[in-house]
Structure 1
């Protein structure tokens, strides 16, 4: 292979794969965080137990081992479920970080003063309306900063998917390193790209935080 400049398009392609995986995994993680909290708040003990098992298993085991399990173990009997590397990456990352996200959301919901619940009950609001108009807007203000940190961790965690044959940013960087031996340049550029992705996410989430904060301020002023 030729000069480093001729190989840089590979790094760009790897970055696109990383962004696609991270975006899909974040969506799944948000869904799983909400779903796990619904399960853990259910009135039935068996359902609460299921939610707790999900959270504790995925928080308490290695992300890398989880990815290997989905990629290498699921296709074997008795499961016989073969997933593509891309699907494994999204499912593994989404389930893993969704378990952490459920704890963030649970803490944020508990941070809402109990008086807010009582006021919503006094106004005869339905449970869905209480959650949508009173509880969630206040909880999200507390949940978004730690959730942003978790999403950044997810972006960095995508580097592990290179070990299940996905041509992400880290995989392409290793390819370039082997082909050009320009180790310092390649991995310095890789660090810059990961940093840029994280900063883009931070900027986006700050806008979301401001939106929720302004919305809560307007509701409080009414």
Structure 2
């Protein structure tokens, strides 16, 4: 175990590659999810078709196959990417397709009365989305987005197959050089778990911020106002 721990610099370098892939791939996935998720709620059929083409194609292909396509196949067609960029593209495009469905479903889950209220207030379509619909949709998106970013982080393990030295590759390198299989792979299990917990903390922090922005302040004990609002007949004129 001492030999495995003595290789801490390799572990740090590998963890940085994994974190960088997670952050950059997650940023790409989030951007694509918002663009194509909102496209899926459009009133124009041709815009919704763009959503379906993107979602069905990239959700229906394995991330590993996309990675091999970008890294091995495209250079033969004259388009060459760096290993890191190819990995980010594969991860972002795949997870973004799942995220687009999260965005579309969350927007559609906002109560219809909210939309009707914006129409009554004579909001433009842009104002409706930016000021009312999207903020409430984001509150619904965050929990599944948290799951997706953790899945993306775990999916970065495939990049070791194209030469990137991430945590998975480091664990195999150290296992091969020290012969300590249990220690090396136990260490990488712990590191992936720690990174996942850190990501989860950020997601929960974002959820609390959004709840405060929307005026949601959950407490352990129900307030008198909450009890009154939930009482039978509350809010009904006598």
TM-fit CA distance, 1:49: 2.2
Calculate the aligned-residue CA RMSD, in Å. 1.7
- Comparing 155-164 and 6-15, the one that deviates more: 6-15
Equivalent residue number for residue 107 of structure 2: 109
- Which whole-Å CA distance do the structure 1 matches of 2:58 and 2:126 have between them? 29
Deviations 1:73-120, CA, capped at 9 Å, x for gaps = 11113xx11011100111110000000000111111111001100101
Structure-2-length-normalised TM-score = 0.86
Equivalent residue number for residue 173 of structure 2: 175
TM-fit CA distance, 1:42: 4.4
Kept in 1: contact 2:41–2:107 (CA 8 A): no
- Which whole-Å CA distance do the structure 2 matches of 1:103 and 1:135 have between them? 16
Equivalent residue number for residue 141 of structure 2: 143
SS of corresponding position for 2:97: helix
Equivalent residue number for residue 196 of structure 1: 194
TM-fit CA distance, 1:44: 4.7
Kept in 1: contact 2:114–2:132 (CA 8 A): yes
Equivalent residue number for residue 119 of structure 1: 117
Higher fraction of helix: 1
- Which whole-Å CA distance do the structure 2 matches of 1:85 and 1:74 have between them? 12
- Map 1:1-222 → 2, pairs under 5 A: 3-42=3-42, 44-77=44-77, 80-217=78-215
Structure 2 unaligned runs (5+)? 217-238
